[in-house]
Amino acid sequence: MDHLVSIIVPVYNAETSLETCLSSVLQQTHGQFELIVVNDGSRDDSQKIVDSYVKQDQRVKSFIIRNQGPSIARNVGIDVAQGQSIFFLDADDSLEMNALELLVKAQ
């Protein structure tokens, strides 16, 4: 399967849930994805967490904007996305291991 999925995660002060979210993406059975994390002006340690994931996996990309709300953060992600499919994931959610595989098979 050569289907790139762009996963866009808007983040605002999500340090308590962000690691669970990002780890769930990196554990996907469908590995053809880019994880676009858009920090919407967080004032907690969210960006430190994102930076650690950027260092460990080249599929993780980080963007920082001033606080404008999740819809603007999602649009920033869309602007840089390169995948055939776009998947939105909130920072306080997580994916089952085969979520992207099922998404790609359904198309």
Domains of the chain from N-terminus onward: 5-106 (3.90.550.10)
* Bridging pattern class, strands 5-11 and 85-88: parallel
The pLDDT score that the predictor gives to residue 22 is 99
Half-sphere exposure of 8 (CA within 13 A, CB side): 22
Reduced to 3 states, what is the DSSP secondary structure of residue 82?
coil
pLDDT digits (tens), the chain, 107 positions = 578 999 999 999 999 999 999 999 999 999 999 999 999 999 999 999 999 999 999 999 999 999 999 999 999 999 999 999 999 999 999 999 999 999 999 98
- Contacts of residue 12, Cβ cutoff 8 Å, sequence gap at least 6: 39, 40, 41, 42, 46, 67, 70, 73, 91
The pLDDT score that the predictor gives to residue 68 is 96
The pLDDT score that the predictor gives to residue 2 is 78
Give, to the nearest 10 degrees, the angle between helix 46-56 and helix 18-26.
20
